[in-house]
């Protein structure tokens, strides 16, 4: 009987211990009222729940259980406040450089970027350099690339789609978007040279949101190795291009890499090779994962919804018939794709390729009656608004008309973020998606080969089998 006493005492004090832990989590040592929520398991936090449930259900469940405005959790080893709803999005978007600063998870920093640059300069990127990225990716600068996008889309379909009855959309979309990015950003056309970047990039994107456990065989370990290969290859390309520019005295810049090598700050200083590499990596990540995910989702809905496909087809064929057979798309053609872009935006609402963004608090502040302590990480997510019936009636219905007129309420449709750090590649993604839609629907009707194929979340939503679709040429 005496041997049972320790176990009975443990059972007796367990509820009291849990209550005490819950109290400590609601209040810090200074008595501040923290957001409701839980930190999950020691060390692991709520990583497992986030992975098993997926970001949409994880956030929805906690908004219902704790607060529709802000809740706390622990993800990737960090204390974190998830801000929810349109007001939460607006607050974080407008608090940049006041209450918050940029923050990247350790797994992303170590896998993708030069560590020495991250630690010394990530939070101090000059306004000139940030504005430069926006300048080279805004509509006026991108117009010139539309014919090349169109030509490469035609070539891609000829080589990878036309001779096949069934194709897997996701891997082919990744190939197209990455090949295009390499061509536009760095004038790369050699398949072997592109492969030296694309193959290790697969390792990086598969592990950049994993737990930062650097042991052989882990996704994080593979991501680090892949990241080093990517950085080494980019540094070789950048060094070679800088040498060419110095020898040829090029002043205009034939692609984005040349423009980055030529831009100077107010003191006449050029960007370093590390800064250029990190910026290109950021754009390649978007091209490799998020843009290809967006293209895949759009084609998925076109294959599932014949009435939407028919409207897109009608619009795109009107544009095609107004041009010669070999005449390439122009900016004016893109501006006519209004229904197609509304359909693409509805796809981005229902299956957003990017999940949100992290920040780090630089000071204590209060939001919705709760204190967010200095040093905590924050996260805003598309999933607190995109399928929220408060903002979108019948939220699971695919309805492109939501984007007619003034469209959704501010801060509710946020696939590209918002505020000072809205994704600078928003316009690039729009052009790429529309050009690809144009070329696919002009040639094929689409029929899903696996009608009930599941979507899983990695860095972006991914169809479990790559979205195989049956290609039905028009007239069949």
Burial of 290 (0-12, 13-18, 19+ CB in 10 A): buried
Cβ pair 86, 410 in contact under 8 A: yes
Distance CA 175, CA 188 (A): 14
DSSP string, 330-364: -HHHHHT-HHHHHHHHHHHHHS-SS-EEEEEESS-
Question: Among candidates 75, 101, 96, 82, which has minimal Cα distance to 367?
Answer: 82
Give how far Cα 99 sits from Cα of 73, 176, 256, 307, Å: 20, 39, 33, 47
Cα 470 to Cα 473: distance, rounded to the nearest angstrom: 10
Query: Quick check: 390 and 89 in contact, CB under 8 A?
Result: no
Q: Are 293 and 213 spatial neighbours (Cβ–Cβ below 8 Å)?
A: no
Q: What whole-number distance in Å separates Cα of residue 302 and Cα of residue 324?
A: 26
Closest CA to 138 of 435, 427, 434, 431: 427
Residues 6+ positions from 388 with CB-CB distance below 8 Å: 85, 395, 412
Do residues 141 and 253 make contact, with C-beta atoms less than 8 angstroms apart?
no
423 is in an annotated binding site: yes
| Whether 354 contacts 205, CB under 8 Å | no
Q: Which helix (H) or strand (E) holds 73?
A: strand 70-75
Residues ≥6 apart with Cβ < 8 Å to 67: 35, 36, 37, 84, 368
CA distances to 206, 314, 438 from 337, in Å: 34, 10, 9
Positions at the binding site for heme: 423
Positions at the binding site: 423
């Amino acid at each position: 009987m005496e041997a049972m006493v320790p176990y009975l005492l443990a059972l007796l004090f367990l509820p009291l211990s849990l209550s005490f832990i819950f109290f400590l989590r609601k209040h810090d040592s200074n008595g501040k009222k923290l957001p409701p929520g839980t930190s999950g398991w020691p060390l692991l936090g709520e990583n497992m729940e986030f992975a098993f449930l997926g970001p949409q259900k994880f956030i929805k469940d906690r908004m219902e259980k704790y607060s529709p405005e802000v809740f706390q959790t622990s993800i990737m080893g960090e204390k974190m406040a998830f801000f929810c709803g349109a007001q939460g999005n607006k607050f974080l978007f407008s608090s940049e450089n006041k209450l918050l600063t940029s923050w990247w998870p350790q797994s992303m920093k170590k896998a993708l970027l030069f560590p020495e640059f991250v630690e010394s300069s990530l939070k101090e990127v000059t306004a000139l350099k940030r504005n430069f990225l926006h300048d080279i990716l805004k509509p006026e600068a991108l117009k010139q690339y539309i014919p090349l996008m169109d030509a490469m889309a035609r070539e891609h379909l000829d080589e990878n789609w036309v001779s096949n009855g069934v194709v897997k959309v996701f891997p082919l979309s990744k190939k197209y978007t990455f090949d295009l990015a390499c061509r536009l950003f760095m004038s790369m056309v050699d398949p072997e040279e592109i492969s030296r970047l694309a193959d290790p990039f697969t390792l990086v994107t598969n592990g950049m949101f994993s737990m930062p456990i650097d042991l052989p065989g882990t996704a994080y370990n593979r991501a680090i190795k892949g990241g080093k290969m990517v950085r080494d290859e980019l540094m070789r390309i950048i060094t070679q291009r800088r040498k060419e520019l110095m020898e040829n005295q090029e002043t205009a810049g034939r692609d984005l890499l040349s423009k980055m090598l030529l831009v100077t700050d107010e003191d006449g200083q050029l960007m370093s090779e590390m800064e250029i590499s990190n910026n290109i990596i950021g754009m390649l990540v978007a091209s490799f994962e998020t843009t290809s995910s967006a293209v895949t989702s759009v084609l998925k809905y076109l294959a599932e919804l014949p009435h939407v496909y028919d409207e897109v087809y009608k619009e795109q064929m009107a544009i095609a018939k107004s041009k010669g057979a070999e005449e390439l798309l122009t900016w004016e053609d893109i501006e006519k794709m209004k229904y197609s872009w509304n359909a693409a935006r509805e796809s981005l609402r229902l299956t957003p390729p990017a999940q949100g963004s992290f920040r780090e608090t630089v000071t204590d502040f209060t939001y919705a009656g709760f204190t967010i302590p200095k040093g905590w990480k924050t996260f805003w997510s598309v999933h607190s608004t995109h399928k929220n019936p408060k903002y979108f009636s019948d939220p699971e219905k695919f309805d492109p008309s939501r984007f007619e007129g003034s469209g959704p309420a501010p801060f509710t449709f946020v696939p590209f973020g918002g505020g000072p750090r809205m994704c600078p590649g928003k316009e690039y993604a729009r052009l790429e998606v529309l050009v690809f839609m144009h070329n696919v629907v002009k040639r094929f009707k689409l029929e899903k080969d696996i009608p009930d194929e599941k979507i899983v979340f990695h860095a972006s939503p991914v169809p479990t089998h790559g979205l195989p679709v049956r290609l039905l040429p028009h007239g069949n």
